[in-house]
Structure 1
Amino acid sequence: MSVKESFEAAKKQYEQWGVDVEAALQKLQQIPISIHCWQGDDIGGFEANPSELSGGIDVTGNYPGKATTPEQLRSDLEMALSLIPGKHRVNLHAIYAETNGEVVERDEIEPKHFENWVAWAKQHGLGLDFNPTLFSHAKAEDGLTLSHPDESIREFWIKHCIKSRKIAEYFGKELGTPALTNIWIPDGYKDIPSDRLTPRIRLKESLDKIYAVETDEHYNLDAVESKVFGIGSESYVVGSHEFYLGYSLKNNKLCLMDTGHYHPTETVSNKISSMLLFSDKLALHVSRPVRWDSDHVVILDDELKEIGLEIVRNDATDKVLIGLDFFDASINRVAAWTIGTRNMIKALLHALLLPNAKLKQLQEEGNFTERLALMEEFKTYPFGAVWDFYCEQMGVPVRETWLENVKTYEQEVLLKR
């Protein structure tokens, strides 16, 4: 049976429950995923004076072919994007500035250092997002940045964040789509702190200074990202979920939730509906923690499906900004992007193909028997046939055939670096 024939057969099964499959595919095309550039080079960046990776972050593995230049990284991203259905975005960190070998401190970066990225994004019809880089730097060696007791160090990072927001605003103006500027800091302590409040006061004051410099929301959207712990900050993190949730609500900023930044028994999917009640928009960094915030490549597991469900069934596809954040150097990096991004899109499609209105109705009626029965039966509906058709229609490889493209690219490009 051809891809088209399998799709038509699957479509009939879904339509029996009022699921408009064609409309679901049209909707799916309109949901961009922000693909993180740092999977391609193990969060190395292109600074003229690079520092070792720090900030409670670690990348393990030494698979051949890591990108070492901006051109290589963009080439690898192009390869991955050619295997992923839909039009998406690329997420940059400040360390991916191009300074032509000139040492430019992070508090002095300018839009001109990202002109090549913008030209490339225009060429490929991509949006860009941005992150100030508050790690892997001499002024972050003790694990403190915006909450540092030393005012001069705080001011350095405050200026860096202001510069970063201006760069994102430049992205938005040039590309016609607002850039998300997300602030994450590694600040915390390895052992039990004697004072939790004072560092948080300093962080709040730093953020207030950063956001006192206005940017146009048509071009730049501000987000803050929490974490529960990191390597070197096992006992206390200044920017906790409660801190940033309160700050974002009070100051009209987006709260960004990273799926690896919570306690093992917490799930981000369970938080989305509550946060949407009080926020016009929220943002995600989708990753996969294994025992800790290990940033494994996203797989189509239960939590990813639940995240897709919460976004879709709450009509929030334009309210939740979806980004990815994983980095694995033990496998082909282009394959990692492809696997993770395709899985995020699959989770959204899976949610779009459920009879969500019917399932909500059953819950309201108290008909939990039929609700549970349908939720379980739909797990084996022919979702894969619809996915294959979507890939074919979008001009990307169907099923695992994309692996051959990656293998060829590895032989012809990656292994020659």
Structure 2
Amino acid sequence: MSYAEAKEIYASYGVDTEKAISLLRNKEISINCWQGDDVVGFDNPNGGAGDGIATTGNYPGRARTFEELKADFLEAISQIPGKKRINLHACYAIFDDEHPWVDRDEQTYEHFKPWVDFAKEHNLGIDFNPTIFSHKMMVDGLSLSSPKKEVRDFWIRHAIASRRIAERIGQELNDMVLNNVWIPDGFKDIPADRLTPRLRLKDSLDQIFAEKCPHVIDTVESKFFAIGVESYTTGSNEFYMSYAATHPGVYNLLDMGHYHPSEYVSDKIPALLPFFDKIPLHVTRPVNWDSDHVVLLQDELIEVMKEVVRNDALDKVILGLDFFDASINRVAAWVIGTRAAQKALLLALLQPNEELKKAQDEADFTKRLMLSEEMKSLPWSDVWTEYCSREGVPADKSWYDEIKRYEVEVLSKRS
């Protein structure tokens, strides 16, 4: 079927495919840099992921330097349509003779200026995150909620430095920069005191967010549990949601993998829209727990995007990706995950939302169900093909041939 035919079919349902393509083209997605090197970073050459985070797998070709990570990222986005941002962690600081290594609490904008130059050259936005894991100051697995003041103070200084770096990035790019605080703090077994660690965390956050940073969107990322903290997570959803609700300008970032399997982020978005002007979202794929698998085109992802679109929240919901898989080609993982998120968004943009809402308000639930089902078999893939053609990227699996060429010519030569 041709795009012209698909356009006509969708029009019969009251859906404008040209509008859908335009909205999709202009919705930025923040792509996580840490997929390219297994969350190792550049500030701890003798270490890697650990102390609160983990990757599995040993696929050859991991990026080891700034130049390699940049090259891999560019290769990936050459096969991804639409507007893109790069999501950085503080552990990706760039050190050289002029700006030698410093610990995380002493990092400055100069350590990230090469990333800003890279973003300017390739018309990318940037988001930023303090790296509160994989460090010797993760004492007993705790950071901002630690009972040790020297530990808390170190991470407070790091988070403040990160906000200042994000503010400068925003100034340089004339843009807003999402700066996300995530900590792995918690306990493996039943704690004797659940309140005091949260009071310490609240005090730490109050200090971190005290300084005004007009180019920064401040977020805190809640989670349910993880390996090593099965019994208690200090930064729970209830804690961070309460903090965001009582601290204007701070938002609770919803990570799709950070909830109980019976919870749905798609339901949380419309629950928050009456109260928050922004909803930051990490698009990921959980498998039973917070495992951050590569995003696939699955039902819950589509439902999430439907809630974004049907509630006119494209300008309110901030889309970022968060996954890391060291068992597969890392560049291909970027392409698969980002394109899956974009396909889900396109499917959401191709819904007859006003007609569906009208049917619900009129208690015509039969029509609502019928329309929802009929839309599943409409030729959305032809709209995707047209969109990719206009963006100059492959719509089909031929993008994989290019990534395999890159693997043979570039990735396989890394020892």
Q: State the TM-score bracket (shorter-chain normalisation).
A: over 0.9
Equivalent residue number for residue 96 of structure 1: 92
CA–CA distance in structure 2, aligned partners of residues 55 and 359 of structure 1: 47
Q: Does the 8 A contact of 1:135 with 1:186 survive in 2?
A: yes
* Matches of 2:195 and 2:251, distance apart in 1: 23
What's the counterpart of residue 118 of structure 1? Answer: 116
Q: How does 1:293-312 map onto structure 2 within 5 Å?
A: 293-312=290-309
- Cα deviation code 1:322-354 (max 9, x no counterpart): 000000111110100000000101111101011
Separation of aligned partners in 1, 2:155 and 2:195 = 20
Q: 3-state SS of the aligned residue for 1:159?
A: helix
Query: What per-residue deviation string (whole Å, max 9, x for no partner) do you get for residues 251-273 of structure 1?
Result: 12111011100111111111000
Output the amino acid matched with 1:152. Answer: E
Task: Summarize the alignment of residues 189-268 of structure 1 with structure 2, pairs less than 5 Å apart.
Answer: 189-216=187-214, 219-252=215-248, 253-268=250-265
| Paired residues of 1:227 and 1:262 also in contact (CA < 8 A) | yes
Q: How does 1:359-370 map to 2 (within 5 A)?
A: 359-370=356-367
Shift of 1:133: 0.5
Identity %, equivalent residues: 56
Which of 80, 86, 89 is equivalent to 1:84?
Answer: 80
The letter for the 2-side match of 1:225 is E
Name the counterpart of 2:59. 63
2:395 matched to 1:407? no
- Write the letter of the residue equivalent to 1:267: Y
Q: For residues 90 and 267 of structure 1, what CA distance do their matches in structure 2 show? A: 26
- Give the match's secondary structure for 2:319: strand
The range that moved more, 50-59 or 328-337, is: 50-59
Q: What amino acid is the match of 2:182?
A: W
- In structure 2, the partner of 1:28 is 24
Contact kept in structure 2, 1:229 and 1:237, CA below 8 Å: yes
Hey, what does 2:128 align to over in structure 1?
A: 130
RMSD: 1.0
Counterpart amino acid of 2:149?
Answer: E
Q: Is the 8 A contact 2:139 2:151 kept in 1?
A: no
Which of 26, 38, 44 does residue 40 from structure 2 map onto?
44
Asked whether the 8 Å contact 1:269–1:303 carries over to 2, the reply is yes
TM-fit CA distance, 1:49? 5.0
Give CA-to-partner distance per residue, 1:349-368, whole Å, 9 cap, x none. 10101100000000000001
Maintained 8 Å contact 1:227/1:241 = yes
Alignment match, 2:277: 280
TM-score of the pair, normalised by structure 2 = 0.97
User: Structure 1 residue 318 and structure 2 residue 325: aligned?
Assistant: no
Counterpart position of 1:9: 5
Contact 1:272 / 1:310 at 8 angstroms: preserved in 2?
A: yes
Which one is further off, 48-57 or 194-203?
A: 48-57
- Alpha-carbon distance in 1 for matches of 2:46, 2:337: 28
- What residue in structure 1 maps to residue 103 of structure 2? 105
Q: How does 1:154-165 map to 2 (within 5 A)?
A: 154-165=152-163
How far off is 1:22 after superposition? 0.5
Matched residue, 2:171: 173
Alpha-carbon separation, structure 2, partners of 1:123 and 1:411: 27
Q: Is there any run of 5+ residues in structure 1 with no aligned partner, and where?
A: none
Cα displacement (A) at 1:60: 1.0
On the 8 A contact 1:261/1:293 being kept in 2, the answer is: yes
Q: What's the secondary structure of 1:265's corresponding residue?
A: coil
Indicate the SS of the match to 1:157: helix
Look up the match of 2:138: 140
> Are the counterparts in 2 of residues 56 and 233 from structure 1 also a CA contact under 8 Å?
no
Q: Distance in 2 between matches of 1:55 and 1:227?
A: 16
1:308 is aligned with what amino acid?
A: M
Partner of 2:394: 397
- Tell me the CA shift for residue 170 of structure 1: 1.1
